[in-house]
Structure 1
Amino acid sequence: MIDTDHPAATRVGERVAAQDWGALAAELDEHGHALTGQLLDPEACRDIAALYDDTDRFRSTIDMARYRFGSGQYRYFTHELPDVVRELRKAFYPRLLPVARDWAARLGNPAPWPDSLGEWVKMCHAAGQAKSAQILLRYGPGDWNALHRDVFGDMLFPLQVVIGLDAPGADFTGGEFLMTEQRPRAQSRGSATTLPQGHGLIFTTRDRPVASKRGWSTGPMRHGVSTVRSGRRHTLGLVFHDAS
């Protein structure tokens, strides 16, 4: 299992740093989401997915059908994160921070995020957002996730990451990651992404800046998951603020 000194934890920072961040930032600007290269090997993916049945690692379990979120289940980790999850979050934050600040500047919004993830988390806790928001999701045949925007409180980081833990076409079919963008005075535009095992998808938590005749405007976006047709699909969700 993934704990102290797991080899994946020592490599993950290097793999995140080795991504083409110029290209990823451009993709985020254009579409509001961007697919990374491989971050975790299959063994590490299987180890993280296997944690789902270790209920002591999680603070709560959400049945999506009960809340009309779709069908399937997800669990919020406690603050005692597995090493690989902690290192992924730590490695992504400084790479995503310039994008977050640039988007805020274009929209004329505050950019409260400090250079350090630890300092930002302390700010979240001081504002009453003190619950871990890191998520492990499990979908089976017929499960899906309704299109939505994530809201955990007023302290919000505008980007998050989902990492595929199973192999599409082998471990499951269906289950594409969906995004829709509400465009001004036009029909919404949608996209579907197949998430390869060990790869991450960076996407906007709520919206992105969109160029308009008057400068920049806010482009609201929603995300979800299409119906899983067979097998089992696990994903890891990395959120860069804590929840209220």
Structure 2
Amino acid sequence: MTTTTRPVPALREPVAGADWPALTEELNAHGCALTPRLLTPAQCRALAALYEETGRFRATVDLARYRFGSGEYRYFAHPLPEPLRALREAFYPHLLTVARDWAAKLGRPAPWPDTLAQWLDMCRAAGQDRPTPILLRYGPGDWNALHRDLYGDLVFPLQVVIGLDEPGRDYTGGEFLLVEQRPRAQSRGTSTLLPQGHGLVFTTRDRPVRSARGWSTAPVRHGVSTVRSGTRRTLGLVFHDAA
């Protein structure tokens, strides 16, 4: 990282200082929750600039090639940049509380241990050893189809995307989309503009919703609406690695 990045301990502070009871309430109600600012504009620019350092990445995906939409993203290789490691480690214990609560409501196992390091060790033991944090880049006309980020049998039920550009100034359009299939009802959509430096926590695959019989599973997919102008770049933090 460049000298514009704050020391790693300081990167953890905004995550730890967020109002997690309020964020959890938002997650339970809507399947996603917008965090306070986590990164300064300088930090966002420094992270976005990593996209050109191709040696940091293990793979580049052209969305149009695979008919996933239009645009491009890159998966980081090991070793991850320290800011990414710090952010994932800072988020994990807070998201773990939600993950275990959701598993209990749905009567599912909760295999996630107390630390991210232990969880990633479990992923590696299951053959999921490729890192999944990504940088995404969209230009005018680009978009991302609705999908789920599932890379193997072991899945962490929440993930985070952080906006690296300022909507309305650096780009227009490009809303983050979340579509939830409600039990015995029509799908419900949520759109969110990501302020620069803020994160959006959202469900990876599904989540519990109240029903007449207690708790039911609501499948969820996410994507990005069409970027109308400018460049939209984001950092994606997935908490399980890929097979």
TM-score interval for Structure 1 and Structure 2 normalised by the shorter chain: over 0.9
Contact 2:183/2:217, CA 8 A, preserved across alignment: no
Structure 1 counterpart of 2:14, which letter? R
SS of 1:112's equivalent in the other structure is coil
Deviation for aligned residue 1:9: 2.4
- 1:52 paired with 2:54, answer no
- 1:103 paired with 2:102, answer yes
- For residue 61 of structure 1, what is the aligned residue in structure 2? 60
- For residue 93 of structure 1, what is the aligned residue in structure 2? 92
- C-alpha separation in 2, matches of 1:202 and 1:185: 26
SS of 2:149's equivalent in the other structure is coil
Do the aligned partners of residues 2 and 216 (structure 1) sit closer, same or farther apart at CA in structure 2, a change above 3 Å counting?
Answer: farther
Do the aligned partners of residues 234 and 144 (structure 1) sit closer, same or farther apart at CA in structure 2, a change above 3 Å counting?
Answer: same
Range 153-162 or range 185-194, more displaced: 185-194
- C-alpha separation in 2, matches of 1:189 and 1:147: 13
Range 184-193 or range 229-238, more displaced: 184-193
Deviation string 1:122-169 (CA, Å, 9 cap, x unpaired) is 000000100000110000000000011221111100000000000111
Contact 1:8/1:44, CA 8 A, preserved across alignment: no
Deviation string 1:55-112 (CA, Å, 9 cap, x unpaired) is 0000000000011110000000012111111100010001110000000000011100
Structure 2 stretches lacking a partner, 5+ long:
none
| Percent sequence identity over aligned pairs | 69
SS of 2:14's equivalent in the other structure is helix
1:67-216 correspondence to structure 2 within 5 Å: 67-216=66-215
- For residue 30 of structure 2, what is the aligned residue in structure 1? 31
- For residue 43 of structure 1, what is the aligned residue in structure 2? 42
Deviation for aligned residue 1:8: 4.9
- C-alpha separation in 2, matches of 1:118 and 1:10: 17
Deviation string 1:190-212 (CA, Å, 9 cap, x unpaired) is 11100000000000001110111
Contact 1:156/1:241, CA 8 A, preserved across alignment: yes
SS of 1:200's equivalent in the other structure is strand
- C-alpha separation in 2, matches of 1:158 and 1:186: 23
- For residue 217 of structure 1, what is the aligned residue in structure 2? 216
Range 36-45 or range 145-154, more displaced: 145-154
Deviation for aligned residue 1:10: 2.7
- C-alpha separation in 2, matches of 1:136 and 1:9: 19
CA RMSD of aligned residues (A): 1.1
- C-alpha separation in 2, matches of 1:8 and 1:222: 34
With normalisation by structure 2, the TM-score equals: 0.98
SS of 1:202's equivalent in the other structure is strand
- C-alpha separation in 2, matches of 1:155 and 1:72: 27
With normalisation by structure 1, the TM-score equals: 0.97
State how many pairs are aligned.
243
Structure 1 stretches lacking a partner, 5+ long:
none
- For residue 226 of structure 1, what is the aligned residue in structure 2? 225
SS of 2:26's equivalent in the other structure is helix
Contact 2:5/2:42, CA 8 A, preserved across alignment: no
Deviation string 1:5-42 (CA, Å, 9 cap, x unpaired) is 94152311111000000000010000000000000000
Structure 2 counterpart of 1:157, which letter? F
- C-alpha separation in 1, matches of 2:51 and 2:176: 20
Kindly report structure 1 stretches of 4+ aligned residues shifted beyond 3 Å.
none
- C-alpha separation in 1, matches of 2:139 and 2:188: 27
Contact 1:2/1:82, CA 8 A, preserved across alignment: no
- For residue 239 of structure 2, what is the aligned residue in structure 1? 240
